[in-house]
Structure 1
Amino acid sequence: MMPHRSYRRVSPEVRDAAVAQVVALTGRLRSESEACRIVADQIGVHTNSVRNWVRAAEGPGLERMDASALRRKVAALQQQLAAAAEVNRALADTLNESRRRT
């Protein structure tokens, strides 16, 4: 017979704070896994719990999206790319114009 496992309840506020801390630490540490381990140790939960919270906050990964969701994602990214390209063109035009005046 397997021993009964007891899991500590963690409030949504603590989960949100843990996810935010992992995101903040990930840029400063070697990996997201290391950030999850550090945060998990701080709040007294298993590393995989924190990792699961981070994954849930990120939303569905590309491997879990259906074809229509992927098409919507691609279309949204194409719109963002087009908007960014337009901003870049405008900035380049402004820079070139200011260089001509000088």
Structure 2
Amino acid sequence: MMPHRAYRRVSPEVRQAAVAQVLSLTGTLSSESEACRMVADQIGVHSNSVRNWVRAAEGPSLERMDATALRRKVALLQQQLAAAAEMNRTLAETLNETRRQT
């Protein structure tokens, strides 16, 4: 029979600090996994726990989204693209008009 594991409770503040530390270390270390291991060792939890906190902080990735969520994301991106295209058109017209006046 395997012994019962007692998992340590970690406050939300410590989790946030751990995520921030992983994100800052990821650029300087060889991988995110290495950063998770280092931070996990510092706070006394398993590296998978830290990795899960990082994933949760990042929000849902495209691989984990369902079809409905992906459609909503695409619709939002299309709206943002249309708004950016309209702003670009307006700025180009204003620039052309300014050039004609000078």
TM bucket, shorter chain: 0.7 to 0.9
Q: How many residues align?
A: 96
Give the TM-score of the pair, scaled to structure 2: 0.74
Query: Please, which runs of 5 or more residues in structure 2 have no aligned partner?
Result: none
Pairing 1:1-102 to 2, within 5 Å after superposition: 1-82=1-82, 90=91
% identical aligned pairs = 82
CA distance in 2, matches of 1:33, 1:87: 41
Summarize the Cα distance change of 1:44–1:74 in structure 2 as closer, same or farther, 3 Å threshold: same
**What one-letter code is carried by the residue in structure 2 that aligns with 1:63?**
E
Larger radius of gyration: 2
Superposition CA RMSD, Å: 2.5
Unpaired segments of 5 or more residues in structure 1?
A: 98-102
Q: Distance in 2 between matches of 1:82 and 1:18?
A: 38
SS of 1:54 mapped into structure 2 = helix
SS of corresponding position for 1:28:
coil
Deviation at 1:81, TM superposition (A): 4.3
